[in-house]
Amino acid sequence: MALKREIKGKVVTRTGDKTATVLVVRKVMHPRYHKTVKRFKKYQIHDEQNELNVGDEVIAIECRPLSKSKSFRLKSILSTGVE
């Protein structure tokens, strides 16, 4: 069995029913300047109970493709946001 990837990020939008967009930030070393730079990527995640709000910190786990753009589902909510 293959390992499932886990991503940690912040909910930036609630898009449609049972879907949220999560912004994942990772820090990488620049190859030439040897300085830490941020890289951003947005993922669509599946939220079965519609319990997420904008600003929440979440962990999502990889799953089978649920739609064209959704391949992650909500695992846990780490903290709730301001909004």
Domains of the chain (ranges; CATH) run 6-79 (2.40.50.140)
Read off the pLDDT of each residue in 17-44 and give the average, rounded to a whole number: 97
Read off the pLDDT of each residue in 74-83 and give the average, rounded to a whole number: 88
Helix (H) or strand (E) holding 14: strand 6-14
Read off the pLDDT of each residue in 20-29 and give the average, rounded to a whole number: 97
What's the pLDDT tens digit per position in 38-70?
999 999 999 999 999 999 999 999 999 999 999
As a whole number of angstroms, the distance between CA 14 and CA 56 comes to 11
Which tokens in the block code for residue 38?
Answer: 């941020």
